[in-house]
């Protein structure tokens, strides 16, 4: 039976809900991350399915529990935002021989299902709760937190995998390839929009309105790369350990001006898994618990061909207000922030919505001109995000948990890590969480 998507009732997406009823009663404990490569080499052992199994096993081991103690699994089933499997291409025989398949022959290659994972991980024999959380691991974290809080599961895996096949994302593929176009692309793709187009257009509007420039992004992107190179599991740290200079950033080619190459992230193959459990159960596990004080979802209110700057500012402001309300904290309580950065320009609105370090609308780029390093008073994205370690949408959560556990290694912020925030992905469409080293 197919796993269902999380129902609306599991989300906190309106203001005025008060303190989250499970505040401090749910904790993240274990983390597992697979190896990474730029593209899949079509061997079974490096498929997204295989690496997801590996990440899950590592997370369970990291938490210091046995697989039979896990009773929940929340999965983001999509494993890419771009290149998929060509319809005329044969599925590698070795893959079919190595894994138990589902009704979908591409399961484990360019997508993942709960069914596929459970068929190929017989040690997960006590799973009673399963749910899909589409699009983003942030969604999966939110759903798992709520599920543990509600008692639907006691010890729950949160899982996300990524595949990356040969070829360029979107370019000359699908809706972009023909002389005719059908579907929603009639309103956008037909005009030649690349993925970062909307972000670039809104950023241009932002700079125009507040008297800022794209050059002001440079300190942030340089900082992202620096922090990413301190993430041993990251793609750049392992394969291209090169720092980025301000000059490199400013000299980079435009993709959709004002968004350049370094404002876009690099697709990679990788998987991650977390173990969430109750605060009570977490006390007996191997790692320090990181308590969840609140979670929230923000969705766009207005459906247009493209959103506006005002839509994104309203969305990110709403996220900030909801997060603080449900957690019972203020912006001043944050030790660090790890909001999404893929595209890097997103970070401006995420920061402003949180009022992080006191920034108001139109001031996010100004904060980037101050000390935003892990050593400074206002650490910005200590994870390095997608820009620093490759496209995953999960570095932000991994780092938030590790910062609060005190095991972020070379990325550990100098100030005491007490409360942090992470969330993704768009300013007006996001799933975010407040994490804490203590439950109250």
Partner 1 sequence: MPKQSPVPDELDKPFWDACNEERLVVQSCNSCDKLQHPPQPTCNECGSADNLEWRQVSGRGTIYGYAVMYDCPVTELAVDQPFNIAVVQLEEDSGINMLSHLPGTPVDEVPVGANVQVEFEITRATGQKVPEWRVVV
- Short-list 293, 3, 29, 5, CA closest to 154: 29
**One residue of 308, 328, 331, 418 binding partner 1 per CB under 8 A:** 308
Q: Could you give the CA distance from residue 357 to residue 362 in angstroms, rounded to a whole number?
A: 13
Q: Does 410 bind partner 1 (CB under 8 A)?
A: no
Q: Could you give the CA distance from residue 153 to residue 72 in angstroms, rounded to a whole number?
A: 5
Q: Which stretch binds partner 1 (CB under 8 A): 5-13, 181-189, 321-329, 336-344?
A: 181-189
Q: Could you give the CA distance from residue 368 to residue 374 in angstroms, rounded to a whole number?
A: 13
User: Which residues, other chains included, contact 409 with Cβ-Cβ below 8 Å and sequence gap of 6+?
Assistant: 230, 232, 402
| Contacts of partner 1 in 194-233 (CB under 8 A) | 194, 197, 200-202, 204-205, 208
Strand partners, 294: 434
Max Cα–Cα distance, the chain, nearest Å? 61
Residue linked to tokens 């499970």: 22
Task: Fill in the per-residue mask, 227 to 266: x = in contact with partner 1 (CB under 8 A), - = not in contact.
Answer: --------------------------xxxxxxx-------
**One residue of 87, 180, 330, 360 binding partner 1 per CB under 8 A:** 180
Q: Does 172 bind partner 1 (CB under 8 A)?
A: yes
Q: Does 302 bind partner 1 (CB under 8 A)?
A: yes
**One residue of 16, 89, 122, 304 binding partner 1 per CB under 8 A:** 304
DSSP 3-state of 311: helix
Q: Which stretch binds partner 1 (CB under 8 A): 2-10, 125-133, 280-288, 304-312?
A: 304-312
User: Which residues, other chains included, contact 80 with Cβ-Cβ below 8 Å and sequence gap of 6+?
Assistant: 110, 162, 163, 164, 165, 267
- Min. distance of Cβ 107 from partner 1 in angstroms? 27
Q: Does 56 bind partner 1 (CB under 8 A)?
A: no
* Closer CB to partner 1, 191 or 215, in the complex: 191
Within its chain, how far is the Cα of 374 from the centroid? 20
Q: Could you give the CA distance from residue 178 to residue 430 in angstroms, rounded to a whole number?
A: 32
Rg (CA), the chain: 21
Q: Does 13 bind partner 1 (CB under 8 A)?
A: no
Q: Does 303 bind partner 1 (CB under 8 A)?
A: yes
Q: Which stretch binds partner 1 (CB under 8 A): 131-139, 172-180, 218-226, 243-251?
A: 172-180
Residue linked to tokens 């968004």: 259
Q: Does 165 bind partner 1 (CB under 8 A)?
A: no
* Closer CB to partner 1, 181 or 216, in the complex: 181
Q: Which stretch binds partner 1 (CB under 8 A): 9-17, 62-70, 190-198, 230-238?
A: 190-198
395 and 311 in contact (C-beta within 8 Å)?
A: no
Residue linked to tokens 């109750």: 278
DSSP class of residue 242 equals -
- Min. distance of Cβ 187 from partner 1 in angstroms? 5
User: Which residues, other chains included, contact 7 with Cβ-Cβ below 8 Å and sequence gap of 6+?
Assistant: none
Residue 73 token pair: 């699994």
Task: Fill in the per-residue mask, 262 to 301: x = in contact with partner 1 (CB under 8 A), - = not in contact.
Answer: ----------------------------------------
**One residue of 19, 166, 190, 246 binding partner 1 per CB under 8 A:** 190
Q: Which stretch binds partner 1 (CB under 8 A): 84-92, 191-199, 240-248, 275-283?
A: 191-199
- List residues near partner 1 by CB under 8 A: 169-173, 176-182, 184, 186-194, 197, 200-202, 204-205, 208, 253-259, 302-306, 308-309
């Amino acid at each position: 039976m197919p796993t269902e998507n999380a129902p609306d009732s599991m989300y906190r997406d309106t203001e005025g809900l008060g303190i989250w009823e499970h505040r401090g009663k749910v904790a993240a404990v274990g983390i597992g991350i697979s190896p990474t490569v730029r593209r899949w080499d079509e061997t079974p052992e490096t498929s997204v399915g295989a690496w997801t199994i590996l990440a899950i096993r590592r997370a369970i081991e990291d938490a210091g529990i046995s697989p039979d103690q896990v009773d929940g699994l929340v999965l983001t089933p999509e494993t890419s935002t771009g290149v998929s499997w060509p319809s005329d291409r044969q599925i590698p025989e070795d893959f079919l021989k190595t894994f138990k398949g589902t009704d979908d022959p591409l399961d484990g290659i360019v997508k993942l299902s709960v069914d596929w994972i459970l068929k190929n991980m017989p040690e997960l024999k006590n799973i009673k709760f399963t749910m899909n959380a589409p699009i983003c691991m942030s969604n999966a974290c939110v759903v798992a937190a709520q599920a543990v809080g509600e008692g639907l599961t006691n010890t729950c895996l949160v899982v996300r995998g990524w595949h990356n096949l040969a070829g360029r994302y979107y370019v000359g593929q699908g809706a972009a390839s023909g002389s005719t176009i059908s579907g929603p692309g009639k309103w956008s793709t037909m005009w030649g929009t690349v993925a970062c187009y909307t972000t670039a257009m809104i950023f241009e509007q932002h700079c125009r309105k507040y008297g800022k420039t794209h050059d002001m992004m440079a300190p942030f992107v340089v900082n992202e790369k620096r922090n990413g190179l301190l993430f041993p599991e990251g793609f750049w740290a392992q394969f291209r350990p090169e720092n980025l200079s301000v000059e490199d950033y400013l000299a980079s080619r435009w993709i959709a001006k004002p968004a350049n190459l370094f404002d876009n992230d690099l697709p990679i193959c990788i998987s991650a898994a977390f173990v969430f459990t109750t605060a009570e159960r977490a006390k007996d596990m191997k790692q320090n618990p990181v308590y969840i004080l609140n979670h929230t979802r923000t969705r766009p209110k207005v459906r247009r061909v493209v959103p506006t700057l005002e839509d994104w500012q309203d969305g990110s402001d709403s996220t900030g207000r909801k997060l603080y309300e449900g957690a019972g904290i203020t912006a001043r309580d944050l030790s660090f922030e790890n909001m999404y950065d893929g595209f890097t320009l997103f970070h401006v609105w995420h920061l402003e919505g949180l009022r992080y370090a006191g920034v108001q609308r139109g001031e996010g780029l100004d904060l980037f001109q101050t000390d935003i390093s892990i050593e400074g008073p206002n650490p910005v994205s200590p994870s390095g995000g997608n820009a620093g370690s490759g496209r995953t949408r999960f570095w932000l959560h991994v780092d938030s948990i590790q910062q609060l556990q005190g095991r972020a290694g070379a990325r550990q912020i100098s100030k005491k890590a007490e409360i942090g925030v992470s969330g993704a992905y768009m300013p007006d469409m996001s799933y975010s969480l407040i994490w804490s080293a203590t439950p109250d």
